[in-house]
Structure 1
Amino acid sequence: MSRLHGTKDFWLAALRADGPAFRTAVAEAPPDGPVPSCPEWTTTDLVHHLGSRYRWVRGVVGTGVAEAPTERPVSDGLPSGPAALEWWQHEYDQLLDALDALDPETPAWNWAPQPKKVAFWPRRMALETAVHRWDAQLAIASAEPIEAKLASDGVSEVLDTWLPAGRRRSPEPRYGVIQLVAADAGQDWYLRLRGTGVALLDTDTILDSDDHHARAHVTGNASDLVLALWGRINFDVLEVSGDVTLLEGLRVG
């Protein structure tokens, strides 16, 4: 099946939708309340994490060069209480303005095996915000699914960006082909785990008669798929068959 090809406008529209939803959820949660999907974090930690990423990315895309930055995101010494959310709002607004104004082809560093261009960051920030919006809503027991097209792109991002960059959670080598199916988005993916490496197979060139000998199959809606890949939910909420141990080789974050 053809893969979604996101655009700057698509990702910024997603960022504009999930940002306010994140703020609404955080405003309802106790600042020191737990975030069940991020057990070591409070609500304020979640605000600090996302806002500091916004600030750091704004610095990366604003340099106009592809060299790696020397500074890392900093979450220490940030405001607490009601001021934390106002600080987050400022960083969110500034990031949106920066990404909206920049040509996606402008040079900008990223950590993945992708072209070093600004185009990497609207996608990354849209998906980062969507997952943390879900985290924030879960903290007030009102988590809503990630929009299907965005979630489908999030599955693709895990497979074409995070795993090839070596950012999987489990270092244990695994071998075999896995098929993922997002039924609500009309998307599927075949990937081959090669020890600590991974190859995303091009489904546009796969014939219906081809047998890829997939050792594991996962089917569900796109939101549940991407949340499972990010370790927010268990794979057993999806329809799973075959060698389920392979699926731990897909978790990132």
Structure 2
Amino acid sequence: MTPTEHLEALGAEGRLLAAAVAAGAGTSPVPGLGDWTLDDVARHTGSVHEWICEVVAHGLPDWGYDDLMPRAPQDHSVLAAWYLERLSSLLELLASVPADREVWTLFDTPPGIDFWKRRQCFETLVHRYDAEGAAGRRTPVDAAVATDGVEEALQMVRHRTRFGSDREVRFAVRTTDTGSAWTLQVGGSLPREERTLVEGSDGDVELSGRAADLVVHLWNRPPEQPVALAGDASLWDVWRQHAVIR
């Protein structure tokens, strides 16, 4: 996907999230996320958007998006509009920043402002999935968008400093509908800079399924259709301990 496509998908996913919030009950639980409710999803995602705007406009602040959540509306009836305001601000800012301007990012793939277009695209897609699950209806995830999201999830885990296992592990992921596959090598004594993500499926454990199911399952959400696990299934427990978007 191109940065423009990421930005367009971010807007579309955010509008779906807001529609789910407007249509659902704020106290409805999010499937698979413990005590999280529909309103929690809206407050969290809107606060993340607000935090990213601060990061892009002024640099990394000494506070995080969790500090913004308590300031979000508690009244469910205004929460969708509140969220859309933050989505609109984020979209406008990301669209206005030149691609070559230096901004703080979690890592450098893709570089600069394009990183946040992609990261927020998939942050919002996953939380849209959460919100629609709580509201009782889900919009299908586009397969091409989901495939890029699977790769982005693997890149996020590759660069997460807290990810660890007792030995080096190769996690393979394969989309059965779009024909893409990757293998991520992490763990053991392997330092972060030597972790690898390559094309092709050659892992100690392989996760396979539709791209739309994999992109949410990699962030520990229950997929709509089953995914298959082959190889050393116990390694998936390691993944689940370390890979989560919240």
Bin for the TM-score computed over the shorter chain: 0.7 to 0.9
Match for residue 188 of structure 1?
A: 181
Distance in 1 (CA, whole Å) between partners of 2:223 and 2:162 is 19
Distance in 1 (CA, whole Å) between partners of 2:189 and 2:12 is 36
Task: Report the CA distance between 1:9 and its aligned residue.
Answer: 0.6
**Residue 200 of structure 1: which of 178, 196, 199 is its match?**
196
Contact 1:36 1:138 (8 Å CA) reproduced: yes
User: Unpaired runs of 5+ in structure 2?
Assistant: none
Distance in 2 (CA, whole Å) between partners of 1:196 and 1:20 is 43
Paired amino acid for 2:61: P
Q: What is the correspondence of 1:38-57 to structure 2 with a 5 Å cutoff?
A: 38-57=33-52
Per the normalisation by structure 1, the TM-score is 0.83
Task: Report the CA distance between 1:165 and its aligned residue.
Answer: 2.0
Change (3 A) 1:167 1:51: farther
Match for residue 211 of structure 2?
A: 222
Contact 1:37 1:138 (8 Å CA) reproduced: no
Distance in 2 (CA, whole Å) between partners of 1:152 and 1:115 is 16
Task: Report the CA distance between 1:36 and its aligned residue.
Answer: 2.1
Match for residue 237 of structure 1?
A: 226
Distance in 1 (CA, whole Å) between partners of 2:210 and 2:117 is 23
Instruction: Name the % identity.
Output: 29
Task: Report the CA distance between 1:179 and its aligned residue.
Answer: 2.1
Task: Report the CA distance between 1:52 and its aligned residue.
Answer: 0.6
Per the normalisation by structure 2, the TM-score is 0.85
Match for residue 72 of structure 1?
A: 64
Larger helix percent: 2
Task: Report the CA distance between 1:116 and its aligned residue.
Answer: 6.1
Distance in 2 (CA, whole Å) between partners of 1:114 and 1:200 is 13
Match for residue 159 of structure 1?
A: 154
Contact 1:217 1:241 (8 Å CA) reproduced: yes
Match for residue 3 of structure 1?
A: none
Per-residue CA deviations over 1:215-234 (Å, capped at 9, x if unaligned) read 22222111111211100027
Distance in 2 (CA, whole Å) between partners of 1:76 and 1:24 is 22
Aligned residues: 236
SS in 1 for 2:154: helix
User: Unpaired runs of 5+ in structure 1?
Assistant: 1-5
Distance in 2 (CA, whole Å) between partners of 1:92 and 1:167 is 29
Distance in 1 (CA, whole Å) between partners of 2:189 and 2:158 is 9
